[in-house]
Amino acid sequence: MTDASDTQQWFGTDLGPGQSVNTEIEVTESYSGRNIAIPIQVRRGLRPGPTVFVSAALHGDELNGTGAIRTLIGDDSWTLDSGTLLMIPVLNLLGFERHSRYLPDRRDLNRCFPGSAGGSMASRLAKVIFDSVVARCDYGIDLHTAAVRRTNFPNVRANLDQDECLRLATAFGCGILLHGIGPKGSLRREATNLGCPTIVVEGGEVWKVESSVAECMTRGVLNVMKELGMMQGEPILPDSQVMIRETKWLRAERGGFMSMHCAPGDSVEKGQAIATNSSLLAEDQNRLEAPFSGIIIGMTTLPAVQPGEPVVHVGRLANTKSVRRHAKQVAGDDVQRTAHEHLATNIQVTTPTEE
Ligand SMILES: [Zn+2]
């Protein structure tokens, strides 16, 4: 908490209560010796409150969050009442410039936190971000998409055993909450360890701003600010939310072409047909079935597979009752229902033939 009567300094700019600034964080230098800086908007409410960062494109090709943050920046229908909000549409600017997940040195920036001043290029970059943003924040929201050639139904990932992470994850308003502490060196894990509880949101594909996914994200950010008392109003939440602690990637057993029998966000019963692998001449070779009752969290968008390649990511639900409850909550929530319908149009979903 900061005294609202105080001026805060953010990246060289003095900011009083109720003021905002578009500025940048100098993070490194280019091959031609010029400064490379990340654009950021800092907004202050009139009253004191928490400091929160919202970031996207930490993987430089994951743009749904970039779209969501740009919408929030340009939308004057909401007002920040208290606290400070840092909005960073593209965290990995060097990856973004090359439409790439990775940095030019082929490192994953999201495995390099908290970074070090004397380390690799990625590690130095991570340290600047960590010291100048994360260390000054009380909470964080980091927006992602699925990796290349995959899509995800919007879901929140966080250490759900940590009270404040659970609070943020719930308030964001996705129907699916996935428990995990995150990989070593990831922003959310290291930020949470530092005392800045941070959640990750995953939705959609790389290289796109998908309207329905971006809408889940903008609603979620506003929901979290309402939960933290930074904005007026109550978070808009679905009827029910499910906490998932076990997931499994179903992998192709045979090479060939996959006919999918489910779409992202679908609920499936144990044993249900998920995808059928066949030759290019449509001769059936192998069928994948749900190993347990669950939710299709993510899946491949590329139907051609080799043995061992991931096809569908299923999150485990306790029983048939929770499968039905999940389907009902998606159908009853405008934002998630639209995402469910939109994401399904990326995939040809067919009815399995009788075996
Ligand atoms: Zn990512």
pLDDT tens, position by position, 93-134: 999 999 999 999 899 999 999 999 999 999 999 999 999 999
pLDDT tens, position by position, 155-185: 999 999 999 999 999 999 999 999 999 999 9
Measure the CA–CA gap between 201 and 294, rounded to whole angstroms.
19
pLDDT tens, position by position, 211-259: 999 999 999 999 999 999 999 999 999 999 999 999 999 999 999 999 9
Q: How far is the CA of 202 from the centre of ligand 1 (A)?
A: 8
Contact criterion met (CB below 8 Å) for 222 and 230: no
Q: How far is the CA of 264 from the centre of ligand 1 (A)?
A: 17
Q: How far is the CA of 48 from the centre of ligand 1 (A)?
A: 32
Neighbours of 11 (CB within 10 A): 17
> Position 285: which residue type?
Q
Give the DSSP letter string of 89-120: S-S-HHHHHTT-SS-TTS--GGGSTT--TTS-
Please enumerate in sequence order all residues whose Cβ is within 8 A of that of 159, keeping only pairs 6 or more positions apart, or say none.
165, 179, 180, 181, 182, 189, 192
Query: Is 50 exceeded by the pLDDT of residue 4?
Result: no
Q: How far is the CA of 314 from the centre of ligand 1 (A)?
A: 18
Contact criterion met (CB below 8 Å) for 84 and 93: no
Q: How far is the CA of 88 from the centre of ligand 1 (A)?
A: 15
Residue linked to tokens 């840092």: 86
Domains annotated on the chain, with CATH: 8-227 (3.40.630.10), 246-344 (2.40.50.100)
Measure the CA–CA gap between 153 and 343, rounded to whole angstroms.
8
Q: How far is the CA of 308 from the centre of ligand 1 (A)?
A: 22
Give the predicted TM-score (pTM) of the model: 0.96
Query: What would the two tokens of residue 218 be?
Result: 């903008």
Q: How far is the CA of 58 from the centre of ligand 1 (A)?
A: 6
pLDDT tens, position by position, 199-215: 999 999 999 999 999 99
Query: Is 60 exceeded by the pLDDT of residue 5?
Result: no
Q: How far is the CA of 318 from the centre of ligand 1 (A)?
A: 28
